[in-house]
Chain A
């Protein structure tokens, strides 16, 4: 029983890692401040769940189709949104994406008025359980490989150059705006992917799973891990999921309520003691590449 629970937490951590890697691409590598990342996860989750629920007799075929479709859809929609929004800079971009996240949540809350299966504020039930541990692990490894190759490609180096100095990058002939668009949309499609996996892992979706707080959680993870570090993001995601869940097991019943008090205190302490995150912008093992 406890093993099943741990396996589910582990799968959940894999989903979160995929999403957080996407945000690290957006904020850590490219420097685009985004506070609405979870909403793209929500778009991917609801879209894929709607597909698999409507065509459940196709089994795994529609599951894979739905995942691919939600990746493509989140890519396209985030690209379209980014075209106007990326004209904004730093904090203002964060505010605009935060606003977008809240709008998506309100739309999901009202979704049952258009698609009754989506359940609106009652949550979406009866999603087939397709996601299992091998699938999430495989997806995670694929995403990490993709991300590694991306970061060490020309695009990745362009993005880092843009983060470090936008004007210098522009002077070197990098099309700053277009590369940013691409990075934003790619990062968001990671979130769509992870959302699709998540939907078929828990078989239940609720708009509050993808609200402002979840976006903040993802931002916390990448800052804790170290901005611009894949290893940091991966380890921080797992630590974050397991510490939050672990406190539930370790703490005695009487002070279980303190779980959510200890967590922000740890966060504040870590920001004071290690402002650059666990890894800074370093990488470990084969994620590191010598130039």
Chain B
């Protein structure tokens, strides 16, 4: 029984990281209907920026997270301006945007694999704070888990405040609801889209550092699987729905940890996707998604 609760805790830890990534997927999909395959690689960049901030620049943990968030924001906005914005203006089919996103993803993976950038090797991740473990009702809780929960919680609260209470959040919701009308209401749609990319990237950057701390090994292709899983989580919760993405992430995190613990670790990818397919077949809009009317 204790083993079960211990795994529950591990599931929470993994789910928190997924939640931060999947929010970026869900916001970007919500606003321009793009499955941003490059998002997992932004997460990878975040992990590396944190790594260099801690090892080379001797930053402490919190400033490393902020450093990586800011750099990821800048890079994602630049990518958006160079790769996606010209395509959007040309009004090309959505598949082109998707292929471009895949191109960006390949570029980031292979460019950072170059020896002059990060190099293709696995790097051990530093742990910039002392790891203390507590015994609580027979469970072992480490300081890593507490820090991951707290940082995720704080970031989620900030995001929630931004989206629900500020003018920018209102504009974001308007654009995701109806881009053309939002434009007529005087919203600078391009700026809001850039801002969404920036927000998503900031969360992914933080997730990268947290992931590095939890599972201390990083390499340029590390973003692929967590990226796909987080995307699955976003779809599971109903893509475009913020709270859905968070809940979906915790579900996927739990499923993964429990499959690894009780079935076999080789099957954990398959089970997450099998659940996704079953959910999609019974509720195509996801667990918390709004049903879309048929467009004629």
Contact = CB atoms under 8 A, between A and B. Distances in A.
B89 to A, nearest CB: 11
Nearest to B106: A264
A223 B78 CA distance: 25
B281 A84 contact: yes
B93 A92 contact: no
Nearest to A259: B110
A283 interface: no
A106 B235 contact: no
A120 B87 CA distance: 42
Nearest to A91: B35
A183 B192 CA distance: 40
A166 to B, nearest CB: 10
Contacts of A95: 35, 231-232, 235, 276, 280
Interface stretch (B95-103, B179-187, B245-253): B95-103
Contacts of A99: 232, 273-274, 276-277
Interface stretch (B7-15, B47-55, B157-165, B263-271): B263-271
Nearest to B296: A167
A287 interface: no
A272 interface: yes
B280 A88 contact: yes
Nearest to A211: B224
A137 interface: no
A96 B236 CA distance: 11
B90 interface: yes
Main secondary structure, interface of B, reads helix
A275 B106 contact: no
A88 B284 CA distance: 7
Contacts of B75: none
Nearest to B267: A106
A102 B86 contact: no
Contacts of A220: 99, 102
Given A106-B267, A219-B99, A212 B281 contact: no
A102 B284 contact: no
B86 A261 contact: no
A102 B100 CA distance: 22
B269 A106 contact: yes
A85 interface: yes
Nearest to B120: A257
A271 B103 contact: yes
Contacts of A212: 224, 228
Given A223-B96, A257-B114, A100 B277 contact: yes
Contacts of B281: 84-85, 87-88, 96
Contact of B104 (A85, A91, A268): A268
B111 interface: yes
A84, A258, A271 — most chain B CB neighbours (10 Å): A271
A92 B280 CA distance: 8
Contacts of B123: none
Contact of B103 (A257, A258, A264, A275): A264
A227 B99 CA distance: 13
A92 B284 contact: yes
A100 B276 CA distance: 10
A265 interface: yes
A208 B87 CA distance: 32
B280 A102 contact: no
B87, B264, B273, B284 — most chain A CB neighbours (10 Å): B273
B107 interface: yes
Given A219-B99, A223-B99, A271-B87, A102 B270 contact: yes
A103 interface: yes
A216 interface: yes
B277 A85 contact: yes
B83 interface: yes
A179 interface: no
A257 B90 CA distance: 33
B93 A275 contact: yes
Contacts of B111: 261
A91 B239 CA distance: 11
Given A99-B232, A223-B99, A227-B95, A110 B110 contact: no
B240 to A, nearest CB: 11
Nearest to A103: B270
Contacts of A167: 296
Contacts of A94: 35
24 contacts: A85-B277, A88-B281, A91-B33, A91-B35, A92-B284, A94-B35, A95-B231, A99-B276, A100-B273, A102-B273, A110-B267, A167-B296, A212-B228, A220-B102, A223-B99, A227-B95, A263-B106, A264-B103, A264-B110, A268-B107, A271-B100, A272-B87, A275-B87, A275-B96
Which 10 pairs of residues, A with B, have the shortest CB-CB distance? A99-B273, A106-B270, A260-B110, A264-B106, A264-B107, A275-B92, A267-B103, A268-B103, A264-B103, A103-B270
Interface of A: 84-85, 87-89, 91-92, 94-96, 98-100, 102-103, 106-107, 109-110, 167, 212, 216, 219-220, 223, 227, 257-258, 260-261, 263-265, 267-268, 271-272, 275
